[in-house]
Homo-oligomer: A and B are copies of this chain.
Amino acid sequence: MTQHLFIAPADIQSPRWQQAFPSAVIAPDSAQIAEADCVWLLLRDENDFAQLQVLSGSDKKIIAMTLIENAQQARQALEAGASGYVHYLAVPQVLEQVAQVVAAGGMWLGADLMRQLVLATARILPAPVAKPVNGTKVDLSQLTSRELAVAELVAAGKTNKEVARELYITERTVKAHLGSAFDKLKVRDRLHLVLVMAANS
């Protein structure tokens, strides 16, 4: 039986982990790493990537979890040794599937990210007609670094107050950044912000 260990800060956890794997251990750090043979690591900042690098040295299977699916982050995670890349709020069925595939020596990526990889690869391999991907695209690059930071946390489900605490600024400032992000991305509220960010990552 596979022993799963979920490493994530206390404020970003999902009940679905335990639902998918009743015997799973959920902890904020890797203290109980020894008993685990499948580690789910929530990626948020560079430190988490560093930890991923460290873990990849072992023979344990590592699955990166993310707040927002993002192609570059996925690539980095897989390069750093992860065998899977999945949204942290994925439903138990998906989590189980990821575990299965990874346990079988496979790699797991959501279909959308996979498709991106396929299409991206089309450019470097001798390809026929690589259909350029487009759509209702929003340019997140027009946001300043602070606006983006706020937007990402908000898109991860944080409230303004939580974002403020996390970034060591006042709630008012959070609103300011958020408001200008709304303007730039032409969305009316945080809900739509999540939708466009989810559709363009």
A31-39, A175-183, A192-200 - interface stretch: A192-200
Contact-size category for A: 35 or more
Are the C-beta atoms of B131 and A124 separated by less than 8 Å? no
Are the C-beta atoms of B104 and A83 separated by less than 8 Å? no
* Cα A194 to Cα B91 with chains together (Å): 13
* Cα A8 to Cα B114 with chains together (Å): 26
Q: Which of B71, B131, B137, B159 contacts A201 (CB 8 A)?
A: B131
A21-29, A93-101, A143-151 - interface stretch: A93-101
* Cα A89 to Cα B89 with chains together (Å): 35
Is A172 engaged at the interface, CB distance under 8 Å to the other chain? no
Are the C-beta atoms of B118 and A78 separated by less than 8 Å? yes
Smallest Cβ distance from A114 to chain B, in angstroms? 4
Return 17 A-B CB contacts under 8 Å, by A number.
A75-B125, A79-B118, A79-B130, A92-B139, A106-B110, A106-B114, A107-B111, A112-B134, A112-B201, A115-B131, A120-B120, A120-B125, A130-B136, A131-B201, A132-B135, A190-B191, A191-B191
